[in-house]
Amino acid sequence: MAVLDRTDTLAPIREKVEAGERLDFEDGVALFESDDLLALGELADLARRVRGGDDRVFFVQNLNLYQTNVCRVKCKFCAFAKTQRQDGAYTLSADEFVENAVRQYEATRFTEIHCVNGESPHVDLDFYVEVLRKLREALPDVHLKFYTASEIHHMSTLSGLSHEEVLRELKDAGLGSLPGGGAEIFADRVRRLVAPGKEHPDEWFDVHDTAHRLGITTQCTMLYGHVETYEERIDHLLRLRAQQDASGGFLSFIPLAFHPENTVFERRGWRHTTGAEDLKTIAVSRLVLDNVPNLKAYWIMMGMPLAQVALHFGANDVQGTVVREEIFHAAGATTPTEQKLDELVRVVRDAGRVPVQRDTLYNELRRWAA
């Protein structure tokens, strides 16, 4: 009887998916409350295909680099940030950063640099502009995906310029697109608990809306598995969906599982999310976010075996080579900091999908046979 109850709960949602209808708040909560994990995965994969998805799974050859881990904000979920006087704090000059990037490029020929940082109060806007300008001169063919919306807002505060003025200056210097970090969970209750010093979510949305209007594509994220409720997760996803309706510049969505090690939450008894919770969140995200084309199974966070399973729960991207990831590893991630292209190809093939190397903007660079 319990099985029939679960089936009946999902049946109306399946009808909506098959008809191409948009899911609402109640649908989203019902999906999270379902314990029929395999049915959720099948439904999410159906939604992916109904909306035009095929057997391709994407990845990018990229490099993660960081200019500084010094940060003014004391987010309780973060194990990466330092104060300037703490052991392990660093701030790289533009020349140091570029030298590091060029040296790595000679070894791996990546097509993208992904850069996020702490919000250092000890630098100015020129610190960020100079790095972009020198990188563009040194590596003109590499896409520069730099700076979260939180960092853009921080630059605006430092400089007294608007978000638009900051983004225009960064774009002129070489900025290609924005990553999606800083979103966390948008609910005011949650942000007061986990990131009381962070900007209001309205600022995050204004940065992304402005970027989209300027022709700068961005990503979007959700950090889950801490103090948020299912209802707050769905509210978060629906706000992203509404923004995509309005401005259309989100290329992908990345659900990020909270890693508690070396944070306040570890001392309070929090543990890593389960694989089932990660897969459920992937599936519900695909079902609710009907207008964001790409959904990443971030292997750094969940590990390659689970990311492979996530390709049958609505995901169509396994991120990339991600050399030198630091943020999740500071919070206890035990995955490697790098994956070789051959391993990404193998994982996708073994999942029964077609491996495709892309650039940052999802242009296809190379396709392998399934």
Phi/psi of residue 249, each to 5°? -105, 5
Judged against a pLDDT cut of 80, whether residue 87 lies above it is answered with no
CA distance between the termini of the chain: 40
Range in 30-39, 77-86, 173-182, 271-280 the model is least confident about: 77-86
pLDDT of residue 185: 95
Judged against a pLDDT cut of 60, whether residue 204 lies above it is answered with yes
| pLDDT tens string 120-173 | 889 999 999 999 999 999 999 999 999 999 999 999 999 999 999 999 999 999
- Identify the CA nearest to 252 among candidates 278, 223, 286: 286
What average pLDDT does range 90-117 have in this prediction? 92
What average pLDDT does range 291-305 have in this prediction? 90
SS3 222: strand
Q: 56-367 adopts what CATH topology?
A: TIM Barrel (3.20.20)
pLDDT of residue 329: 37
Judged against a pLDDT cut of 50, whether residue 336 lies above it is answered with no
pLDDT of residue 330: 43
Query: Rounded CA gap, 358 and 364, in Å?
Result: 5
Query: Rounded CA gap, 340 and 6, in Å?
Result: 41
The widest CA-to-CA distance across the chain, in whole angstroms, is 66
What average pLDDT does range 259-279 have in this prediction? 70
Judged against a pLDDT cut of 50, whether residue 9 lies above it is answered with yes
Judged against a pLDDT cut of 60, whether residue 186 lies above it is answered with yes
Q: pTM value?
A: 0.90
